[in-house]
Amino acid sequence: MMGMKKIGRSLYEISMEKGMRVPAYAFIDDTMAESGETLQALEQIKNVAWLPGVQQFVAAMPDVHYGYGFPIGGVCATDTRDGVISPGGVGYDINCGVRAIRTMLCAKDIDKRVWDLVTELYRRVPAGVGLKGSIRLSAREERRVVENGAGWAVAHGFGEDEDLLFCEDGGRLDGADYADVSETARERGREQLGTLGAGNHFIELSYVSDIFDDDTASLYGLFKGQIIVLFHTGSRGFGYQICDDYLKMMRKESRLELPDPQLVSVFIGHHLGKRYMSAMRAAANYAWANRQIITSLVREGFERVLKTSYRRLGMSVVYDVSHNIARLEYHEVEQERKLLCVHRKGATRAFGPGHQDVPEMYRSAGQPVLIPGDMGRASYIMKGTEGSMKKSFGTACHGAGRLLSRRKATKVAESRDIKGELEKLGVLVMSRSRRTLKEEMPEAYKDVSRIVDIVEQNDLARKVAKLVPIGVVKG
Amino acid sequence: MSPFQVVDHTADIAVVIEGDNEEQLLREGTRVVFFLLTDSDPGRGRVQRTVKKRVKLEYRSFEELFIDFLNRLLSLADIYGLLPVGVAPKIKKNRAVITVRFIHAGPCQLTREIKAATHHNYSVERGPNGLLTKITFDV
C-alpha cells in the first residue's frame, strides 16, 4: 500500500521511501487517489524521484497514467551541473504537442460544411499507419529541417513568419546536430514530414462553447461560437528511433542504479547526455516543422472547401505547445536562480504572466496551455500562472489521461458503432481504422473537465475557453 | 493455446510471449510484431512473394537481443512497409545473424502504429517449460 497524505483539496504528498531524493506530489482528487490505475502511475513518479540531481520535488499531473519508466503526466527537473537527462522522461514521441488555429468563422457559418471540411482534411493530411507525406527529404534538406524546425517549413512556403511567434521556443531549439542522429532515424524521417500518424493523434474542428476569462480570451483572439482547429502530432518515426537509439546506448554505458530500466539516464555533461540533448532537439525541431506543414495543409483544406483565402478566414496560430520534451530553463530553487533540465512527459509548459518565454502579445496574461480532451466531450484553452512556477516548475496537464486500456476499450466497444454514436453527439469523424476509433472512444479517457478543474484548483493554469468538437480526423 | 497473449496496460500494449527456447521466442516475437501492426496472423491471407533480409545484432544478453530485434523489425516496417513473416536465427556468443522473410504491407494492411518495444518491467524468465517474457509496446 502506498503511503500518501492529503495536503490540499486535490493535492497529495507521497511518502518518502528509500532511494527517493526528493518528495513526490500528485495533483489528484480523492477518487483518483483510490484508483488502482492511478496508484500504479504514482509508483512510477516515486521512481522518478530517484534520479541523480533531481531538484525540489517530482510531480504527477491530474491526467497521470501508467507509462513505462516515467508515468505519462509526470514532471521533474534535474540540475544541469550534476544531474541526469533521461530519454524515458521525454518519451518516444519527442516534442509530441498540440497546435490551435483560430478562425473568424462561427459554428453557424460552417453548419452545412463540417462534413466537407472533415473529408477534405482527411484527404489532405496523411493520417494513419504507413502513409508517407508528399515531401521527400534529401539528407541535406533533412539536416536543414532538424536545424531550423518550423522555420524551415515557413521558408519553404508552409505558412508565415508570424506563425513562429506563437510556437514555444519559436518552433526551434538551438543545439540540434544532425551528426547525433542515426542513419536509421534519418531514414525514418525522410518521408514522414507533414503526416499526422495514428493512435491518439488527431485533427479536430471545434467551436468555443464557453469563455471563462474575457480579457485573456480577447488577447488570445478567442470568442464564443468561434471555430477552432486543434491538432495533435509529434516527431513521428524520426523521434521514436532517436529515443530508442539513445536508450540502447545509455543502457550500455550508464552505471546508475534505478528502479526501472526504462528510466535509464546519464549525467547531462556525459558525452551521451550531450549527444542525446542534441538529437532530442533535432527531433523537437522535426516535430515543429511537421506541425507547421500540417498548419499549411489545414489552411489549404479550408480554402478549398470555403472558396476563400485562409487570411480572409482569419486562420492564424493561437499557440503551439510541446508536451514530451526536456528543456533547459531557469527556475528558483531555495532562493537561487538555477538552470535546470525540466523533463515534461505528457505534461505541458504553463508559464505565467511576465515570463520572458511567453510571446510578447500574451505576456501580460501568461502562455496559452492547450489541453485536448476526447473525441466526444471537450478540450480547453487555459493560461499559465505564477502558481505553476512554484508548484510544478511551470507545468500543467496535457490532456484527459487514459482511463481504459486499449484492450478494455476495444472490448467495451466491441459491438458498438462508435462513429454513429459520435454523430449523434454532433461530432463527424473520419478515421482510417475502425479499431482506432474503438481504442480512442470517449469513455476510454477521463473527463477532461474534471482534470482541468483540478489544475485550476491547484493554480497550475486557469481556464480561458472551452472547446466542443464537431469534426474529427483520426489515423 | 497461442504462444502469445495480449494483456492489459493502461496506455500501451503488453504482450506475454512463450517459447521452448531462444530461437522459438524470436519466432514468436516476430509473429507478435506482425499481429500488432496488422491485427492478423502471418499464417493467414493469400500467399505473397517474400523478400529476405539479414539482421545482424551484437548483444550482451538474450534479453537485450530480443528487444533490439523487435525494434529493428518495427523500424523496417515503418521505413519500407516490410512485415516479418518468418525468421531463421543463428545465435552465437554475443552476436546473432537473423534471416528474416518479409512481405510488403498491402494498402491499409498496417492498422496500428507501434513506436517501440520497451524495457519497462521486462525480463525473460527461464523455467522447465522454456522461456516466458512480457513486453510493453509503446503505442
Please indicate whether, in this complex, the C-beta atoms of A237 and B75 are within 8 angstroms of each other: yes
Average pLDDT over residues A409-425: 94
Shortest Cα–Cα distance, B22 to chain A (Å): 21
* Per-residue cell: A135: 515531401
Give the alpha-carbon dihedral of B128, B129, B131, B133, to 10 degrees: -110
**Residues A305/A117, Cβ–Cβ less than 8 Å:** yes
Mutate to test the interface with A, among B119, B135, B136 (most CBs of A within 10 A): B119
Give the C-alpha separation, A456 to B37, whole Å.
39
Task: Tell me, yes or no, if A194 comes closer than 8 A to chain B by beta carbon.
Answer: no
Task: Tell me, yes or no, if A35 comes closer than 8 A to chain B by beta carbon.
Answer: no
What length does chain A have? Answer: 475
Residue among B126, B109, B139 at smallest CA distance from B24? B126
Please indicate whether, in this complex, the C-beta atoms of A68 and B12 are within 8 angstroms of each other: yes
Q: Where are the alpha helices (DSSP H) in A254-401?
A: 271-306, 386-391
The reported pLDDT for the residue numbered A156 is 97
- Along the 139 residues of chain B, how does pLDDT read in single tens digits? 577 898 877 777 899 999 999 999 999 999 999 999 998 887 666 667 899 999 999 999 999 999 999 999 999 999 999 999 999 999 988 899 999 999 998 877 888 889 999 998 898 999 888 999 999 999 8
* Per-residue cell: A405: 486500456
Please indicate whether, in this complex, the C-beta atoms of A406 and B7 are within 8 angstroms of each other: no
Q: How many CB atoms lie under 10 A from the CB of residue A128?
A: 23
Question: A149 versus A68: which is more confidently predicted?
Answer: A149
Please indicate whether, in this complex, the C-beta atoms of B121 and A260 are within 8 angstroms of each other: yes
* Per-residue cell: B41: 496472423
The reported pLDDT for the residue numbered A135 is 92
- Residues 34-93 of chain B with CB under 8 A from chain A are 37, 39, 60, 64, 68, 71, 75, 77-79, 81
Q: Where are the beta strands (DSSP E) in A80-149?
A: 84-85, 97-106
Shortest Cα–Cα distance, B128 to chain A (Å): 26
- Cell 549525467, located at residue: A267
The 10s digit of each residue's pLDDT in A219-244 is 999 999 999 999 999 999 999 999 99
The reported pLDDT for the residue numbered A378 is 98
User: Which chain A residues are within 8 Å of B113, Cβ to Cβ?
Assistant: 129, 197-199, 475
Which of A199, A248, A433 minimises the CB distance to B139?
A: A199
ipTM, 2 dp: 0.90
Local confidence band at A129 (pLDDT 50, 70, 90 cut-offs): confident
Residue among A211, A135, A146, A205 at smallest CA distance from A178? A146
The 10s digit of each residue's pLDDT in A432-449 is 888 889 999 999 999 999
* Per-residue cell: A132: 508517407
**Residues A245/A98, Cβ–Cβ less than 8 Å:** no
Give the C-alpha separation, A229 to A241, whole Å.
29
Phi-psi region of A56 (alpha: psi -120 to 50; beta: other; left: phi over 0): left
Task: Tell me, yes or no, if B110 comes closer than 8 A to chain A by beta carbon.
Answer: yes
Question: Which H/E stretch holds residue A315?
Answer: none
Q: A248-262, A313-327, B3-17 — which is least confidently predicted? A: B3-17
Q: How far is CA A466 from the centre of its chain?
A: 18
Helix (H, G, I), strand (E, B) or coil at A212: coil
Give the C-alpha separation, A202 to A200, whole Å.
6
Average pLDDT, chain A: 96
Residue among A125, A121, A287 at smallest CA distance from A196? A125
Residue among A385, A387, A391, A398 at smallest CA distance from A347? A398
* Per-residue cell: A148: 531550423
Residue among A409, A351, A347, A408 at smallest CA distance from A375? A409
* Per-residue cell: A351: 508559464
Going A27 to A29 to A33 to A38, the CA torsion angle's sign is negative
Please indicate whether, in this complex, the C-beta atoms of B113 and A433 are within 8 angstroms of each other: no
Residue among B81, B116, B75, B92 at smallest CA distance from B22? B92
Which of A198, A402, A407 minimises the CB distance to B113?
A: A198
User: Which chain A residues are within 8 Å of B138, Cβ to Cβ?
Assistant: 68, 91-92, 240
* Radius of gyration from C-alpha coordinates of chain A: 21
Helix (H, G, I), strand (E, B) or coil at B64: helix
Task: Tell me, yes or no, if A78 comes closer than 8 A to chain B by beta carbon.
Answer: no
Note the pTM of the prediction, 2 decimals: 0.96
A257 CB burial (10 A radius; 0-12, 13-18, 19+): exposed
Give the C-alpha separation, A133 to A290, whole Å.
10
A343 CB burial (10 A radius; 0-12, 13-18, 19+): buried
Question: B1 versus A152: which is more confidently predicted?
Answer: A152
The reported pLDDT for the residue numbered B44 is 64
Average pLDDT over residues A108-127: 96
Helix (H, G, I), strand (E, B) or coil at A47: helix
CA-nearest residue of chain B to A186?
B79
Task: Tell me, yes or no, if A438 comes closer than 8 A to chain B by beta carbon.
Answer: no
Shortest Cα–Cα distance, B10 to chain A (Å): 4
- Residues 220-239 of chain A with CB under 8 A from chain B are 237
The 10s digit of each residue's pLDDT in A349-395 is 999 999 999 999 999 999 999 999 999 999 999 999 999 999 999 99
User: Which chain B residues are within 8 Å of A252, Cβ to Cβ?
Assistant: 60
Task: Tell me, yes or no, if A187 comes closer than 8 A to chain B by beta carbon.
Answer: yes
CA-nearest residue of chain B to A184?
B75
Question: How wide is the angle at C-alpha A341 spanned by C-alphas A335 and A343, nearest 5°?
Answer: 115
Q: A124-133, A253-262, B7-16 — which is least confidently predicted? A: B7-16
**Residues B57/B98, Cβ–Cβ less than 8 Å:** yes
The reported pLDDT for the residue numbered A209 is 98
User: Which chain A residues are within 8 Å of B16, Cβ to Cβ?
Assistant: none
User: Which chain A residues are within 8 Å of B64, Cβ to Cβ?
Assistant: 251
Give the C-alpha separation, A474 to A20, whole Å.
40
A232 is catalytic: no
User: Which chain B residues are within 8 Å of A432, Cβ to Cβ?
Assistant: 108
Q: How many CB atoms lie under 10 A from the CB of residue A84?
A: 27
Q: Where are the beta strands (DSSP E) in A107-252?
A: 202-211, 226-233
Mutate to test the interface with B, among A72, A406, A411 (most CBs of B within 10 A): A406
Residue B102's beta-bridge partner residues?
Answer: B51, B84
What is the phi/psi pair of residue A294, to 5°? -65, -35
Q: Where are the alpha helices (DSSP H) in A229-270?
A: 236-253
**Residues B100/B84, Cβ–Cβ less than 8 Å:** yes
